[in-house]
Amino acid sequence: MIAIIDYDAGNICSVVNLLNRLGAEWKLTADAAEINRASHIILPGVGNAAHVMGSLREHGLDLTVKGIRRPVLGICAGMQIMCSWSEEGDVACMDIFDCRVKLLEPKPEEKIPHMGWDSLGNMESKLFRGIPDGEMFYFVHSYYAPLCYDTAATCRFGASEPMFSAALHYENFYGVQFHPEKSGAAGEKLIKNFLAL
């Protein structure tokens, strides 16, 4: 059973719809015991990091998530609050991934938010098994995790440097900045890979 962490973190129906299409069994829950019994845990997140992190703390779930020993996947803002800090609301986060989330800087050739399909490079994680280098995924974000020791895939904002972390991985924790649930067949493959961990 997959636990989707229930903490008022915005719209989760696209994640639920994807799991349904894959025929996976899931439950939306804020119960620590139930979360700890799940085989896989998904931490969704849409919107402002400070709000999302505050909501997780209010539900007393930040320590629960940090303590999980099964595979955990944070999506979008869910990934960002697994980092150490976010500039969005100047908020201390869960400190699972060793990097600080920052606001994208405007580039003449790219607009903010970074929204649309963009290609990944340096894909180094079991999440990307069978997915070719350069595959495109769907992004919608204004803040980013810089490259760090935990970077598991990169993406470029604009034509020039710097790249940012499109995915992060540390032990049993995985995070993706893009939305696999909106990324067509490649996104479905990634979620299948996660569920096979």
Residues forming contacts to another protein in the complex (CB under 8 A) are 11, 13-14, 17-18, 20-21, 47, 109-119, 136, 138, 140, 156, 158-159, 179, 181-185, 187-188
Q: In the complex, what is the shortest distance from the CB of residue 158 to another protein, in angstroms, rounded to a whole number?
A: 7
Q: In the complex, what is the shortest distance from the CB of residue 22 to another protein, in angstroms, rounded to a whole number?
A: 10
- Assess contact for 5 and 29: CB atoms under 8 A: yes
Cα dihedral sign, 86-122-76-104: positive
| Catalytic hit among 88, 110, 135, 181 | 181
Report the distance separating Cα 6 and Cα 44, nearest Å. 9
Residue type, 196: A
Q: In the complex, what is the shortest distance from the CB of residue 81 to another protein, in angstroms, rounded to a whole number?
A: 17
* Token pair of 91 as six digits: 């908020």
| Catalytic hit among 76, 83, 93, 99 | 76
3-state helix, strand, coil in the chain (%, to 5): 25, 30, 45
Active site residue 179: yes
Report the distance separating Cα 108 and Cα 138, nearest Å. 21
CB-wise, 138 or 170, nearer to another protein? Answer: 138
Q: In the complex, what is the shortest distance from the CB of residue 150 to another protein, in angstroms, rounded to a whole number?
A: 24
Active site residue 141: no
Cβ neighbourhood burial of 149 (10 Å; 0-12, 13-18, 19+): exposed
Report the distance separating Cα 121 and Cα 133, nearest Å. 6
CB-wise, 67 or 106, nearer to another protein? Answer: 106
CB-wise, 100 or 182, nearer to another protein? Answer: 182
CB-wise, 110 or 150, nearer to another protein? Answer: 110
Active site residue 181: yes
List, by residue number, the catalytic residues.
76, 179, 181
